[in-house]
Structures are given as C-alpha cells and as structure tokens.
C-alpha cells in the first residue's frame, strides 16, 4: 500500500458513480455507497471527500443516520429534515431496524447458522482497529447463516443485532474466518485474496417517518 507517511494511507475514493440514490422522498435519501468511500469526512483535510459531503452539496440539510466503514459497500440512510432524523435515528438506537450483510470469509464455516456474542472495544495500542474485550468492551452480537461454500471460502449472510464499529469484521476474525480483503483483521493471504473488502450492506428495514415499514435492497456486487 502506498503511503503519504508511515501511518497515513493515500485516499483515492471512487468517483463513478459520484452518488447512487436508491430512493428519495421529502424525508429520506437511501444511498448505495461504493467500497473505498468514507461515509463522513475524516479529520485530516485529505479525507474531506465522503458520501455525506457529496450529498450535502445538493441537500445542505441532509444528515447521516447510519454509517459504513470506508471499505464496506451498500445501503446508507440520510435524513432530509430534523423530524425524520429523530424518528429514524431512535429506531437504530433501540435496535428496531433490520440490517443484513453479505460477506465472503476465509475457510469453511462448519455450522450452517450461528450466533456470536463478544464485547468489543477500540484497541488503544492499534487504532483504528477494535478487539474483543471482556473487561471494557461494549456488548456486540451477530447472527450468521451460510449461503454457499467455495474453494476454502464461505459466503455468509450476516445479521448484526448491535452496531459497533468494525463489529462484523472483528467477529469474523474471532470466529477464525476473517473477511477476504480486510486490511485490518486478515492475514496477508486472506487480505490479498480480494481486491476489496468483501463485505456489503445488502438490506435495510425500518419504519418510515410516515409510519409504514419500508425495506430497501442493494444487490451484492461480488
């Protein structure tokens, strides 16, 4: 990986499509974020470009409701007014939304379904990485189901019950099946097995501010 300095990687976010809107009304924007683009801008000026920054050029009042890691692709939700933001954000906080991801991991996961309940905390000596931490970690739970097997890989559908930073990535590593292309949690061979992180936010379910349940999908690109 090329670097500007020893600890600052070059950021070259994809430009096409600049913004991919799946759904829009007076209250919300549902967007499909590509891998490699930040959800919100970073602190360093070189990290100013993000999905939120791009959207706010057209919709200055738009606010991010949920986020994805830079290298994760898929569904993101933004509000277009304060009332809508409050109604939907409270659902995420209360774990009343449905989130489904697809991942390709190293090795063959032995069980067809499973549940991970491991608390997570930031690794203070290795930021921005996170780790399983039974003393100081916050509760984190993930369900999974096997979709198919390949040559020493498994395609999974993941259901995060909580929404901790790097939750799915750390949980898959803890399961001894890191996600392909994961620069933080995979070994060299698993990282080099894909040209991007093979993690995609496929489906999102929540109650629209008008009261109806809505479901949005983004086809997995890998």
Longest distance between any two alpha carbons in the chain, whole Å: 50
199, β-bridge pairs: 103
Q: Where are the alpha helices (DSSP H) in the chain?
A: 51-58, 82-93, 167-174, 188-191
CA 95, distance to chain mean position in Å, is 16
Q: Is there a catalytic annotation at residue 69?
A: yes
Q: What tokens does 112 get?
A: 């067809």
Helix (H, G, I), strand (E, B) or coil at 199: strand
The CA distance from 201 to 179, in Å, is 14
Q: Where are the alpha helices (DSSP H) in 11-129?
A: 51-58, 82-93
Q: How is residue 178 annotated by DSSP?
A: P
Pick the catalytic residue: 32, 69, 71, 182? 69
Annotated catalytic residues are 69
């Amino acid at each position: 990986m090329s670097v500007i300095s020893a600890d600052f990687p070059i950021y070259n976010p994809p430009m096409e499509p600049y913004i991919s809107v799946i759904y829009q009304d007076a209250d919300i924007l549902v967007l499909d974020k590509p891998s490699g683009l930040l959800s919100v801008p970073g602190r360093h000026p070189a990290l100013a470009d993000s999905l939120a920054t791009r959207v706010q050029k057209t919709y200055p009042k738009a606010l991010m409701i949920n986020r994805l890691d830079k290298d994760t692709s898929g569904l993101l939700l933004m509000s277009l007014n304060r009332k809508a933001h409050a109604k939907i954000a409270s659902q995420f906080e209360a774990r009343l939304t449905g989130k489904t991801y697809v991942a390709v991991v190293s090795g063959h996961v032995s069980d067809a379904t499973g549940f991970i309940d491991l608390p997570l905390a930031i690794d203070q000596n290795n930021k921005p990485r996170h780790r399983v931490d039974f003393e100081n970690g916050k509760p984190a739970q993930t369900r999974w189901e096997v979709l198919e097997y390949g040559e020493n890989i498994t395609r999974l559908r993941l259901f995060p019950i909580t929404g901790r930073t790097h939750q799915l990535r750390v949980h898959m590593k803890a399961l001894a099946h890191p996600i392909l292309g994961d620069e933080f949690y995979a070994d060299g061979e698993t990282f080099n097995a894909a040209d991007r992180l093979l993690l995609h936010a496929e489906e999102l379910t929540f109650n629209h501010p008008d009261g109806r349940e809505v479901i949005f999908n983004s086809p997995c690109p890998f």
